[in-house]
Chain A
Amino acid sequence: MHRRRGPAAVLATLAAVTLTLAGCGSDSGGGSGGGGGKGDDFKVVAFTSGNQTPIGAWWVKAVTAKAKENGWDLKMIQGDFDFQKMNPQVESAIGQGADVILDGYTDVASIGSIVTAAKDADIPIFAMDSATKASDAFALNITTDQQGIVDGTLKVLGDSIGGLQGKNVMVIGHDPHPGIRLRADLALKDLKAAGATIAGGDVQKVKSPATGRTEALALVSDYLTAHPDGLDAVWVGWDDAALGASQAITEAGAKAKVTGSDATSEAVAQIQAGGAFVATANQPWPEVLDSVIDAVKKFQDNGDLPKKNYEAVDTTIVDAKNASTITPSDKLQ
């Protein structure tokens, strides 16, 4: 049979190693598939498209740790923002059988085919920050309260420039990101309601998150050249772009104030330093993950799904007063 012993031996070794790696944590791969929770080989498929962002990278690590802690058989799929690559991988993992699916930070609009596959196989999806409102796609989706973020950042902004009434405020957003888009629209509405004038008349759009900082930098400095003293504040949907806006303001020697969202360490440090950057929103991801994992454990134990499938938790607004106490989102352990 074995005409070529060498390669066959290598293959056998490889297969053994692969099995060992795959089976790590649980005894062996029996393959029960579908249905409620039997204890020892509870199969979890987890995926995120945002693994290249600091928070996404944290989520991958944290979920892997939780799975080990609970003795789950975890398959982690990292999508690199490439749904064409990620979705089929997740679907084939579903096809091989799973008890629960975890979605981290991947918007429901991008995973239609996964949702269908999960529904067909009758597997619940537990998600965090994957839709900005209740959706049938998920057994549970916990996200942060976008209105709360807008309320909090606008309050700090208003306080720092002596009220929003009659002030010129620029809003910078990025439409393809559902969270940022929702916040920017809410901020625009609330700013108008508060009597502020919107610089440029509408949300200023950044083309790509990768170049958010340089784009916002050019946008704000050009606006300030065209309208010297024409800005009292800039409300930005996420910290990276907010940092560009605040740099533009500092370089132009303007007095305008900036807020962001996400509580990256760089933003937190700037807020502490007390420049143009006055506030950001810290979203309590470790707590959110704990809640999601608790819900999964309940399902594992007795097959119960959460009564409410959508929850928006409060965020902490970071300003100069509490900045020193915050763990930045990119420093999560």
Chain B
Amino acid sequence: MSTTIKAPTPAPDETVGRRRPTRGSIGKFLVQGGTTIALIALIVFFFAMRPDVFLTFTNVRNILFQISILAIISGAQTLVMVVGDFDLSLAATAALAGSVAASLMLKGTPTWLAIVIALAVGLAIGLANGLLVAYVGLTAFVATLATMTSVTGTAYLVTSGTTLFDLPSGFNSLGQGRLLNIPGPVYVAIVLGVLLWALLRFTTTGRKWYAIGGNVEVSRLSGVNVSRGRLLAFTAAGLIAAIAGTLLAARLGSASAVQGSDNLLFSVAAVFLGMTVVRSGQANLVGTMVGVGIIGVMSNGLNILGVNSYVQQVVTGLIIIAAVTLSSVRMRAR
């Protein structure tokens, strides 16, 4: 019972590749940077197809304008996915916030107050999601599916099923006005994007979220308040979604109960695409914005080439599959 066979040196396959990722070869680079390369490839492709149009100031501004709302909602989705959950109610929350702001303004509430109340509604929905997930213990899928349903119903009630319009011009200018010839929502998206990036990168709150998303049990035992962390992430996401929804109402000059509902699936897709950008495979803001960029460039570029919108939808799905497949190849290569 005293002798045990053990290798004097570690067996090759137990150590090679797991200590540090191999780097250097071009093939590796192509696989690792798959998603970013896809974005660049799309841009190059559309530029090659329509050099006279695609990278003009007007069209780049167009793209940025078109993806600004999606970028904000995807930012919110990123926060929730960092803690390892996801939120199906974000687009519904955005629509409700827009509807609430619009209906209050039509009843004579001052614009600033209507906006504050709309944002408070988003915050409250996020808080409710957070409580249900972190404290009641529902799964994020069930909790946010349920709130999505109720929130959409509430939005129908608020709008009476109609489209609210004729909003104050001051409000509309938030979404349609331009500074230095660039529309307002683009600035809001950039500022929020930088703020969220810094939040996730530099603050203890953000780092705790990453810890929770990485391993709940270790985080809990290390003194991270896991429930509060998740609550906070959902609440912040609700508030940010409300900003997006209010901005969308201002951008369109109107609000309806289902406005921008496609942002939900696109936001999840953008975050998934973004997760393939970093080595850890975690949700991250920069990656999400690359994902949003892919979705926006695809849609704009295919429109410019005159491709049927049904075909666009098929291609978008295929791009997501390709990017995620590439990154799982990368994981296996590790």
Contact = CB atoms under 8 A, between A and B. Distances in A.
Direct A–B contact present (CB less than 8 angstroms): yes
B55 to A, nearest CB: 11
Interface in A44-83: 51-54, 56-57
A225 B62 contact: yes
B41 to A, nearest CB: 20
Contacts of B58: 225
Contacts of A265: 162, 165
B313 interface: yes
Contact of A54 (B162, B254, B259, B260): B162
A27 B166 CA distance: 47
Contacts of A200: 306
B292 to A, nearest CB: 14
B53 A219 contact: no
A222 B261 contact: no
Contacts, number: 96
A202 B310 CA distance: 13
Interface stretch (A113-121, A203-211, A296-304): A203-211
A39 B313 CA distance: 55
Interface string A316-332: 00000000000000100
Contact of B261 (A210, A217, A244): A210
A240 B163 CA distance: 9
B303 interface: yes
Interface string A139-160: 0000000000000000000000
A314 interface: no
Interface string B303-331: 11110111001000000000000000000
B211 interface: no
A105 to B, nearest CB: 13
Given A221-B62, A226-B53, A269-B166, A57 B309 contact: no
Interface in A232-254: 240, 243-244, 247, 251
A202 B161 CA distance: 32
Contacts of A226: 50, 53, 59, 303-306
B252 A247 contact: yes
Nearest to A175: B310
B119 interface: no
A184 B260 CA distance: 24
A226 B62 CA distance: 11
Interface string B227-258: 00000000000000000000010001110111
B109 interface: no
Contacts of B215: none
Interface string B290-301: 000000000110
A268 to B, nearest CB: 11
A226 B308 CA distance: 15
B225 interface: no
A214 B260 contact: yes
A283 to B, nearest CB: 16
B254 A213 contact: yes
A161 interface: no
Contacts of A54: 160-163
Contact of B254 (A52, A218, A266): A266
Interface in B21-62: 50, 53, 56, 58-59, 62
Nearest to B303: A222
B49 to A, nearest CB: 10
Chain B CB within 10 A, most for which of A219, A222, A330? A222
* Chain B interface residue number, banded: 35 or more
Contact of B53 (A221, A225, A243, A330): A225
A259 interface: no
A130 interface: no
B148 to A, nearest CB: 13
Nearest to A56: B161
How many chain A residues sit at the interface, stated as a range, is 35 or more
B70 to A, nearest CB: 10
Contacts of A207: 262, 309-310, 313
A264 interface: yes
Contacts of A247: 252-253
Contacts of B53: 225-226
A110 B12 CA distance: 64
A222 B302 CA distance: 9
Interface string A146-187: 000000000000000000000000000000000000000000
B173 interface: no
B156 interface: yes
B129 interface: no
Interface string B267-299: 000000000000000000000000000000001
Contacts of A213: 252, 254, 259
B297 to A, nearest CB: 11
Interchain residue pairs A-B with the least CB separation, the first 4: A222-B303, A210-B258, A226-B304, A266-B165
Interface of A: 51-54, 56-57, 200-202, 204-208, 210-211, 213-215, 217-219, 221-223, 225-226, 240, 243-244, 247, 251, 264-266, 269, 330
Interface of B: 50, 53, 56, 58-59, 62, 66, 156, 160-163, 165-166, 176, 248, 252-254, 256-262, 299-300, 303-306, 308-310, 313
28 contacts: A54-B163, A202-B308, A205-B308, A206-B309, A210-B259, A211-B259, A213-B259, A214-B248, A214-B252, A214-B259, A218-B300, A219-B303, A221-B66, A222-B303, A223-B306, A225-B53, A225-B58, A225-B62, A226-B53, A226-B305, A251-B176, A264-B162, A265-B162, A265-B165, A266-B165, A266-B254, A269-B165, A330-B163
Given A213-B254, A214-B260, A266-B163, 13 more contacts: A51-B161, A52-B161, A57-B161, A202-B308, A205-B309, A205-B310, A210-B262, A218-B300, A223-B304, A226-B303, A226-B305, A244-B252, A266-B165
